[in-house]
Each structure stands twice: as C-alpha cells, then as structure tokens.
Amino acid sequence: MKNRFLSMLIGAVLFVLSAAAENYPYRSDVLWVTVPDHADWLYKTGEKANIEVQFYKYGIPQDGVEVSYELGGDMMPSDAKGTVRLKNGKAVISMGTMKDPGFRDCRLTAKVGDKTYSHHIKVGFSPEKLQPYTQLPSDFNEFWNKTKVEAAQFPLTYTKEYVEKYSTDKIDCYLIRLQLNKQNQCIYGYLFYPKAEGKYPVVLCPPGAGIKTIKGPMRHKYYAEEGCIRFEIEIHGLNPELDEDTFGEISRAFSSRENGYLVNGLDSRENYYMKRVYLACVRSIDLLTSLPEWDGKNVIVQGGSQGGALALITAGLDKRVTACVANHPALSDMAGYKAGRAGGYPHLFKNTVDMDTPAKIKTLAYYDVVNFARQITVPVYMTWGFNDNTCPPTTSYIVYNVLNCPKEALITPVNEHWTSDDTEYGHLLWIKKHLK
C-alpha cells in the first residue's frame, strides 16, 4: 500500500509539472518524499502517526544525512523537535498524536554541503469533527438583507468594450466596467461568451487576494469554449489593462499590514472595505442575469483562495446562485487563533495583539466565510490540500463541516497553495453535471 501510494504521489506531482516540460523536482538538485503510515494522511484523535522521510540528491538516496524536524499544530509554534539520520536515504519520524481534532505539521530541514533544504508535511486527526470558533451574530441575515436592499437602489450601470486580444474563433471577450454606487465606485472584469448564438449558464469568478491585474484571463477559456458565459472580475476598481509597473506601485502603496484593504475599516461592520467587495459580487450576478444570452436558470460561482471565499460568500448572500465551486477558501474562521489553533487567511490574529479587539472581532463575524456557508442551500464542491500554509486545511475542513447542503470534496493532501490544471478543469466538469 505504501509503495503504491508513493508511486501515485510522485506521479501526480510529475503530471502537474509536465505542462512546463520539466522534470520533478522542478530545477532542484534535491527531492523530499514524505510518506505517512496512513495512505490518506488521516488519523483518529488518539492514534499515533508515523512518517517515512526520504531525501535524494541528483536522484541518489543520501545516506547518513542528518534531518532535523520540528512538530507543531497547523500554523502553530513547534512543541517538539529532534533529529534522525538517514539510512539508505530513509528514516522514520513519529509525529505523535492529537487529543482534539486538527492537523499536526512536521517541518523538516537537512544540510548538505553548505546548503540547507526544507520541507514539511501535515497530517490530520479527525478533522471531520472540527468546528468554527466564529459564532453567527443574531442579526447576521438582517444586516445583509438590509445592506443588499440599499445597494439595489442604484441601477445596473456598466460599459462593455470588445477585447480582441482575448477573443478567438470560438469565444468573444469584453472588458466590463461595472459601477457599484452613486459614488462612482466600480469593479472591472473580463466577460467571455461562446461565439455561437444561444442561451448559456453564467459563471462568476472572483479573484484571489491582492491588488493586481487579472492574471492570465485565457487560462480558463475552456468555460466559454464549452458553453458557459464566464465573468472574471477584480475587486478594487482598477482597470486590468493597466501595466504591471502601475499595479506594482499601487500594491506597494496600499498593501502593507497597516493599511491593507483586508484591515481597512475593520472596526465597523458598516465601514469595512470588504462590504463593498461582497456587494460587488452580488452586483456582478445582477449583470450576468441581465444578459439576453443567459439561460435563465444556471448561476454558478467559482474561485480559489480569496476567490473561493467570495464564491462561498456570494452563494450564501444571493439566492439566484445555483451551484458553487471553491478551492482552499480564505477568510474562513479568521478568529480561530483565539481557540489555540489555525485561523484563516489573512491570519490577523497570528502572533499579533493590535488586531485582537472586541470591535474587530465583532466586525469579522459578519464577514467570515463560515457564517455565509451556514446560509448555503445549493450544491457545493470544495477542494483543498493539507500542506497549505496560506489557507490551512484546518479552516477548509471547518467550512466544509458547517455546510448543510449537498456537498462534495476533492481532498488533495500533497497540495500546498495551488491546484493542478486537471483539478481546475474538473471544476467545469462538476459544474456541467449540476446544470439545471
């Protein structure tokens, strides 16, 4: 079983990197392989976990190399450490156990010559029992219903400009500037249509975190090629046609910890920056469902990281949504660190005290993914990995566990904060199976 799992693991990573026509490890002289004694990397609380560590240089097992390790909870400081010496390139490390549901992380280092190499692996202990620290405010739905009604008073207003460089013989692309309110705040997005006339499902794709252009809008062109209208948006009102240097300057000016958008206005649920962002996703649904080419039935939201969070949030906010796909969602149980375990990106409460105020904690409860997940009634498909230190597996499990709707999960333990092309395309295949 162990050898078969190892072969599958290496094969999966090879496939992910094959698009770049490179071998694994990618332009590195060394290769780490870590194999838990449970093939799915999952244990019951109280069970002991052991991992076999393998280390190769130039594909040659490194005999006699000393490997240092530190053990700790997911995103938590280490609570144990030690060393093992490789024999024929291999050694076994005991990761111990956990009495409460969660994840344990083994952080590895090895020095060969004058260079130090690092790796890590997380395994789970009864993560299906994880529950959020974040509580649901009693007036959560009242607040958001009122907020949506107020936002809907502004008429749907947008411009639409053909983008030749992203259009092909099969699809047409348009740059949209969507106005959000009378203050002339807006968002931009690329709207992709199938070229053939017809009625189609619509798919909203919110972005990952940061202040940046819409990266590689053609990477998901197969949505339009295979019969979906897809709207890829940004959230800051910045034209994605701006050059990279301009985006870099803006990002450096407004992305520091002190003035970043994810902490802007956090002392007030009315003034928090993300209020406008969440409403922008609803307004994007307004746009998509106004299109004469919409099939009148199917409204899907799909994204990863911050985009995965916004997909789930939109599905909880807007009853027009009929299905949701999210990978490793950010903004999930963000105050979880107060429970002594991992919290969600942007990790506001990790090793900090300035964020831990009653006002900020109160505001976050109205914006945390877990409280929108509690509202979702439509089918949800989630994917996440275990080795992710950006959106840790603890918080992905918490979101999945609170969903009270038809749901499916693709769990890919080896993944850090990435998804393969196959996984991405699998999202579309799942969507097509859930069309009305």
CATH number at residue 348: 3.40.50.1820
d(CA 122, CA 388): 9
> Which DSSP helix (H) or strand (E) runs through 284?
helix 273-290
Predicted pLDDT of residue 216: 86
Strand partners, 192: 173, 230
The more confidently predicted of residues 326 and 28 is 326
Structural domain for 229, as ranges: 140-433
- DSSP per position, 310-343: HHHHHHHH-TT--EEEEES-SSSSGGGGGGTS--
**Annotated catalytic residue: which of 388, 396, 427, 434?**
388
pLDDT at 12 > cutoff 60: no
CA 122/CA 125 separation, integer angstroms: 10
Angstrom distances, CA of residue 326 to CA of 12, 151, 400: 21, 25, 10
86 within a domain of the structure (yes/no) = yes
CA distances from 415 to 410, 412, 425 (A): 11, 6, 16
258-281: average pLDDT: 93
Q: Are residues 96 and 124 in the same domain?
A: yes
Q: Is residue 52 part of a domain?
A: yes
Count the neighbouring beta carbons within 10 Å of the beta carbon of residue 81: 11
Residues 385-408 have pLDDT tens digits of 999 999 999 999 999 999 999 999
* Whether 388 is catalytic: yes
Mean pLDDT of the residues in the chain: 93
Whether 118 is catalytic: no
Whole-angstrom CA distances from 386 to 39, 93, 130, 190, 344 are 13, 18, 14, 32, 14
Q: Is residue 66 part of a domain?
A: yes
Query: Taking 50 as the threshold, does the pLDDT of residue 325 lie above it?
Result: yes
**Do both 145 and 115 map to the same domain?**
no
> Edge-to-edge, what's the strand order for the sheet holding 66-73?
42-43, 115-125, 102-112, 66-73, 78-85
pLDDT above 90: percentage of residues in the chain: 85
**Count of domains forming the chain:** 2
Q: Which whole number is the average pLDDT over 77-103?
A: 97
Single out the residue of 300, 304, 302, 303 nearest to residue 323, CA to CA.
Answer: 300
Looking at the fold, whether 307 and 403 belong to one and the same domain comes out as yes
**Are 41 and 169 within one domain?**
no
* Domain-ending residue, one of 81, 103, 129: 129
- Whichever domain contains 124, its CATH number is 2.60.40.1930
Same domain, 113 and 144: no
> What's the pLDDT at 307?
97
Share of the chain above pLDDT 70, in %: 93
Regarding whether 248 and 104 lie in a shared domain, the answer is no
Q: Which of 38, 220, 236, 417 is catalytic?
A: 417
Residue 110 lies in a domain: yes
- Kindly state whether residues 165 and 301 are assigned to the same domain: yes
Between 69 and 256, residue with greater pLDDT: 69
Tell me, yes or no, whether 241 and 260 share the same domain: yes
The answer to whether residues 331 and 278 belong to one domain is yes
pLDDT tens sequence across 228-237: 999 999 999 9
183 CB neighbour count, 10 Å cutoff: 9
Per-residue pLDDT, averaged over 250-256, amounts to 79
Say yes or no: 108 and 176 in one domain.
no
